[in-house]
Amino acid sequence: MPHSAPSVDDLQRYAPEVVEPDDFDEFWRDTLAGSAAAPVLVDVRPEPTDLLLLDSWDVTFAGFGGDPVRAWYTRPAGVREPLPAVVEYAGYGRGRGLPHERLTWPTAGYAHLLMDNRGQAGQHGVGDTPDPYGAPGGPWPATWGILDPRNYHYRRLITDAVRAVEALRALPGVAADRVSVVGNSQGGGLALAVAGLVGDLSAVLTTAPFLCDMRRAVALTDLAPYGEIARYLAVNREAEEAVWRTLSYVDGVSFARRATAPAQFGVGRRDTVCPPRTAFAAYNHYGAANGRPVPPEREMHVYPFNGHEGGEAVHVRRQLRWLRAVLAATRG
């Protein structure tokens, strides 16, 4: 991949016509409606952390089908007024971990909700939200229930991600009209999905997003998570048509087309996990289907010599400065 990585000029022109099912909007409208009946907050209790400058709460909210999903809610200690808020989504194979592991956003002055990934903990981080559904498919999260979009793991995880925004807005100390979403890798894919499903976000920050331009991505890399889909098809050859159909309901390009919030993207040009071409597919289509005469603000940062790690701390600094400016402009 590094020797054949496309130039930035080529990436800026890459806008494939991703196959989108005719009932895409109906599918997601019905999916979210099926989970909206349950009250979103199930339990909120203070969590002792020994961090003197931050307060944390252990949150359980109702996700897909009313299933309990865990999250950490953290905010600056002693601050009374409602704060702008950020929902953060974790990467593939990660759980929510411990409340002191991800402190960038609350220490920057935001109310922060970190969502657990149902059923995924154990590869890279600790989590405690099960995914209680069984369906035909492969052994990895990327292939759980992959033969039918109604049974697919990412139908449930994306629904959880939308409900996390609703849960954050219901928590005390949150400025409900100033909520943004952020994520890296799988978390970046979830942030894009939420951007296409929730119409009143303040901003979207996505880096190295998974779940974009899926068919092309599976062809470009053998590394997980996309490689897990290829390995499933290497054994289940007759399942190819069903797999592509299922993936078409969760492709980040389709969600990006429907997004309306300002967005900041980041990619490493040598990324072999989530190839940069696939992120640019979402970026170049971002906001195209929202019906507005002027597309939403968006920007892309490319790190030419980096892989899936992207810009790391340099990019986080850019995220902090960009979000602060976007929120200030909105308030103005």
What are the structure tokens assigned to 10, written together?
Answer: 């080529």
Distance CA 151, CA 145 (A): 5
Q: Name the active-site residue from 112, 153, 285, 308.
A: 308
What are the structure tokens assigned to 130, written together?
Answer: 């099960």
Active-site annotation holds for 35: no
- Residue 120, SS3 per DSSP: coil
What are the structure tokens assigned to 264, written together?
Answer: 């900041």
Q: Name the active-site residue from 35, 185, 202, 254.
A: 185
Q: Name the active-site residue from 56, 271, 285, 315.
A: 271
Distance CA 27, CA 42 (A): 26
Active-site annotation holds for 116: no
Q: Tokens 């990006």 appear where?
A: 256
Query: How many other C-beta atoms can be found within 10 angstroms of the C-beta atom of residue 237?
Result: 7
- For each of the chain's 332 residues, which pLDDT tens digit applies? 444 578 889 999 999 999 999 999 999 999 999 999 889 999 999 999 999 999 999 999 999 999 999 999 999 999 989 999 999 999 999 999 999 999 999 999 999 999 999 999 877 778 999 999 988 899 999 999 999 999 999 999 999 999 999 999 999 999 999 999 999 999 999 999 999 999 999 999 999 999 999 999 999 999 999 999 999 999 999 999 999 999 999 999 999 999 999 999 999 999 999 999 999 999 999 999 866 667 799 999 999 999 999 999 999 999 999 999 999 998 76
Q: Which helix (H) or strand (E) holds 291?
A: none
Active-site annotation holds for 285: no
